Chains A and B, each alone.
Chain A
Amino acid sequence: MVPTNYYVVLSAILFGLGVFAFIFKRNIITIFMSIELMLNAVNLAFVAFSQALGKLDGQVFVLFVIVVAAAEAAVGLGIIILIARNRQSLNVERVDLLKL
């Protein structure tokens, strides 16, 4: 039996790595992948608490998170294809249309 705290700490570490990848990476696809990493870290915390409390609500929420992540991936990758077509680059620093 693994203590719930271990899962929560692992979840926080993975979330932190996701945040770091989000702000450090320059490739728009990799940035998108780091969002998925953060969602996965939160899912881990959901399941850990679901197990700790002996209730299944957390696992049902994980299913909803996965569905939303799938929808988000479909729309987000469509946007990435548009950006790549219009800017001929995947570097986020080239996407500066709103910059003064």
Chain B
Amino acid sequence: MTPQLVVFFVLAALAVIGAASLILQKHPIHSALSLIVVMVALAGLYLLMGAEFVAAVQIIVYGGAIMVLFVFVIMLLNAGVEEHTSISKMAGPPGLLLVVALAGFIAATIARSTESVQTASQTGAMASTKGISNMLFKDFVYPFELTSFLILVAILGATVLAQREKH
């Protein structure tokens, strides 16, 4: 049991507990806080893998911007405890079975195919941030420019959708 493995299991348990808590909590604000726990745990896992730039972006964009937006909307709409009808309660057990089957299938399929992936020797984080910026602004420069256009369209869409129409 190496230290990395211990850290991995602690963070993985934190992520799974957070995700389960997202399902079990009745109030949306509690679900949002559980989701923040999952995201912080995933950021820790990215650090463990030597992807420090992705970890920072995960904290700043997901944990910061997106989740603040969620909490803001929950408070703006004054969302209360969710109500369950008899049909949605009935869907629980078969849904759980199917989801377990789905997760098992995905894990088994991908885990089997990773055996052919020969693990590259760890070259000490291989200047991860520098490498990412090189790829982002050389190989992926057109998709990168397209994302700025996408964000512009999203801003316009959100503004148009959320504004109160005049009578």
For A91, the chain B residues whose CB sits under 8 A away are 82-83
Please measure, in the bound complex, the distance between the C-alpha atom of A90 and the C-alpha atom of B79, giving whole angstroms: 7
Indicate with 1 or 0, residue by residue over A40-57, a CB within 8 angstroms of chain B CB atoms. 100111011111111111
Known contacts A4-B114, A8-B111, A13-B107: A71-B83 contact under CB 8 Å = no
**Quick one: closest A residue to B83, CB to CB?**
A91
CB proximity of B133 to chain A, nearest CB, Å: 10
Contacts of B77 in A (CB 8 A): 29, 80-81, 84, 90
Interface majority SS (helix, strand, loop, mixed), chain A: helix
Interface residues in B, total, Cβ within 8 A: 86
A33 / chain B contacts, CB cutoff of 8 Å: 22, 28, 31-32, 35, 70
Contacts A36-B66, A75-B154 known; 14 new A-B pairs at CB < 8 A: A12-B104, A14-B19, A16-B106, A20-B96, A24-B95, A25-B23, A30-B22, A30-B82, A33-B35, A37-B19, A62-B57, A63-B136, A68-B150, A70-B65
Q: List 29 A-B contacts (CB under 8 A).
A: A2-B8, A10-B12, A10-B16, A13-B103, A13-B107, A14-B38, A16-B103, A21-B23, A24-B91, A27-B82, A40-B38, A43-B58, A47-B45, A53-B117, A53-B120, A59-B53, A60-B136, A62-B57, A63-B136, A66-B61, A67-B150, A68-B150, A69-B62, A69-B66, A72-B154, A74-B154, A79-B161, A90-B82, A91-B83
Residues of A within 8 A of B (CB): 1-2, 4-10, 12-21, 23-27, 29-30, 32-34, 36-37, 40, 43-45, 47-57, 59-60, 62-64, 66-75, 77-82, 84, 90-91, 93
